[in-house]
């Protein structure tokens, strides 16, 4: 399968402003997601300034920015600040607080207020149902299931993702998202099961130009790489 054959929307996952703009200009992606961990990795020091600059540079694609709070009152205030950044902005709300409390009541309150949400850190079908149930009819929202982290724990993410897609389709305007992508083939998997979106780190996005390469091409390219590295080593087995 080639990239152009994919029906699933590919979002870039990162928080380096320059890299985000670079991916935007390449034209492969149709949206962007960020999170606190990615901001820490990228060295972001001023959240609001970073978000405003990204919104100015990427005004016509969906952008997801996450709240930092761990209580409903703080999260609600932060959500309003983030939502005000632009009509293309989705506010990321974790499905639970650090003490395990479900954020479904807050999700409902924010959705009722017309704020576009991206509910994140979801791992179970029950969490998917809780989020979708809390969305107000007629609003646009995203449900982010961490398929890659499920796989990291030895759990097959496909059954969860299939059910997620079905549940999301039950409420118009709700989009299913495959999160924590680990490899390029995840794009194919997400596409096969009907996911609306897959969010992809730059390390995987870099492999898109090679998508659709035949096995024989892959074999030859590998041998050529070996040959180049052998030459660079500058020594031989036989004396």
Which residues in 132-211 belong to E strands, given as ranges?
141-145, 174-178, 197-201
> Among the listed ranges 127-131, 152-156, 205-209, which one has the minimum average pLDDT value?
205-209
Rounded to an integer, the average pLDDT of 178-184 is 96
pLDDT at 239: 75
- By residue count, the chain amounts to 239
Cα–Cα distance, 178 to 21 (Å, whole number): 22
Cα–Cα distance, 198 to 116 (Å, whole number): 18
pLDDT at 222: 96
Closest CA to 150 of 166, 163, 139: 163
Helix, coil or strand: residue 67: coil
Rounded to an integer, the average pLDDT of 77-87 is 97
pLDDT band per the 50, 70, 90 thresholds, residue 47:
very high
| Position with higher pLDDT, 239 vs 133 | 133
pLDDT at 1: 85
pLDDT at 42: 93
Catalytic machinery residues? 92
Q: Which two tokens stand for residue 140?
A: 């646009």
CA-based angle 25:31:36, to the nearest 5? 105
Rounded to an integer, the average pLDDT of 25-31 is 94
């Amino acid at each position: 399968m080639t990239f152009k054959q994919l029906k699933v929307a590919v979002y870039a996952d990162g928080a380096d402003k320059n890299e985000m703009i670079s991916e935007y200009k390449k034209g492969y992606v149709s949206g962007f997601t960020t999170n606190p961990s990615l901001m820490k990795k990228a060295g972001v020091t001023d959240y609001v300034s970073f978000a405003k600059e990204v919104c100015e540079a990427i005004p016509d694609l969906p952008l997801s920015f996450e709240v930092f709070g761990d209580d409903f009152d703080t999260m609600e205030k932060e959500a309003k600040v983030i939502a005000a950044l632009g009509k293309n902005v989705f506010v990321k709300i974790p499905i639970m607080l650090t003490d395990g409390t479900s954020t479904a009541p807050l999700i409902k309150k924010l959705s009722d207020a017309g704020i576009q949400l991206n509910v994140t850190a979801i791992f179970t079908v029950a969490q998917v149902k809780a989020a979708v149930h809390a969305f107000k009819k007629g609003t646009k929202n995203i449900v982010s299931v961490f398929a890659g982290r499920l796989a990291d724990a030895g759990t097959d993410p496909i059954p969860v993702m299939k059910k997620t897609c079905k549940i999301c389709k039950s409420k118009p305007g709700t989009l299913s998202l495959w999160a924590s992508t680990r490899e390029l083939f995840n794009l194919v998997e997400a596409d096969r099961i009907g996911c609306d979106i897959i969010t992809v780190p730059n390390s995987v996005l870099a492999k898109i130009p090679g998508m659709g390469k035949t096995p024989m091409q892959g074999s030859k390219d590998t041998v050529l790489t070996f040959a180049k590295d052998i030459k660079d080593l500058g020594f031989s087995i036989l004396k």
